[in-house]
Amino acid sequence: MSLPIDYSASTVTHEDQATRLRALVASPQQMPVPREPVAAPPRLDRRLPTFNLAQPQEDKSSPMLGADQIRSARVIAVASGKGGVGKTNICVNLASAFADLGCRTVLLDGDLGLANADVLCGINVRGHLGHVIDGARTIEEITVDAPGGFRLVPGAGGLARLADIDDRRRSELVKGLTALDADADVVIVDCGAGVGANVIAFTLAADCTLAISTPEPTAMADAYGLLKSVAMANRNRRKIESQCEQSPIIAMLVNQARDHSEAVSVLHRMQGVADRFLGVDLVDAGWIPDDPAVPDAVRKRTPFLVCHPKRPAAQRVRIVARDLRNLLELTASDDAERPGLASRLLHRLIRL
């Protein structure tokens, strides 16, 4: 019988790490019987604020408006425990799928040092977030239109210095991110691989954290490490902040699965360990098949949703986007105010 885990501790025992998890992954008969995948975790009884996507906004908010004068977009932080699981490719095509659904979509490339969403889109960028932090560009100047109908904010370094920049540059960055919020329905953040401070800050600032894993045992083990870090950060936030916002939704997407059966098996195992060791209700975000159209699209530097729209991978991404749209309730009109990405992100980075 497994020893109980002290969730209040800032560290975890060795048994809670790779040894125990890899044994569980390798021996599914030892796993507790997980719950069946559900469309949303049971704790989502408090409804998220919603807004109307059916009618376009005629009077788009200006970046000069205050944060209390604009509504904010839904934010999805896409992360993975390890590199090489197709995270950026998912981000690019998920952004395209949201655009196809009528959502004004922005992809923010927050992968420090290894930002390559522009490469997958075949775009020659004019600048990146590092230039914005340095004051050489504005976000409006670096944002570009991407194939698939969304807008891309290229990223390459700079975010690690957010807590140290002066008030003027911070103000300019906030205005730029606020402008994205005002003119978008969905902001997808491509986080770096791993569990660095910037990744955790993005997940805490998001409405939904989408964790990506493949069926490989190493990817699943590292995905668990990501889930654990996000869960611990959420618990620490609730201890520190007296008026804590609702915890972000945490969802799992299985990429490069051979078939539906393999994807369900991976999801069940991840739901089991997340529930047993972390107390996390892991939402089933779906799966993407291992499709030869995906590497072909990478070589063509075009989203596979654009160059191979009828392939299985493209069809599954559309289903994932539709389900996430419904989960985040991007359907009905509501004028409820909520902090935007700029204020939430800077608040988290400074605290971290």
Per-residue pLDDT of 30-45, as tens digits, reads 443 333 343 333 333 3
For domain 63-351, the CATH class is alpha beta
CA distance 192 to 123: 20
pLDDT in tens, 205-225: 889 999 999 999 999 999 999
Q: For residue 292, what are the CA distances in angstroms to 89, 254, 312, 342? A: 13, 17, 10, 38
Pick the residue with more confidence: 62 or 295?
Answer: 295
- Any idea where the domains of the chain sit in the sequence? 63-351
pTM (2 d.p.): 0.76
Residue pair 203/248 in contact (Cβ under 8 Å)? The answer is yes
Between 161 and 286, the higher pLDDT residue? 286
Which value, to the nearest 10 degrees, does the dihedral of the CA atoms of residues 211, 253, 326, 319 take? 150
pLDDT at 159 over 60: no
64 burial class (0-12, 13-18, 19+ CB within 10 angstroms)? exposed
Strand partners, 255: 288
Poorest-pLDDT segment among 70-79, 137-146, 187-196, 302-311: 70-79
Per cent of the chain over pLDDT 90 is 44
Q: Specify the pLDDT at position 71.
A: 54
Backbone angle region of 326, left / alpha / beta, with phi > 0 → left and psi within -120 to 50 → alpha: alpha
Buried b or exposed e, range 120-133, using 16+ CB within 10 angstroms: bbebebebbbbbbb
DSSP, residue by residue, 99-145: HHTT--EEEEEE-SS---HHHHTT---S--HHHHHHTSS-HHHH-EE
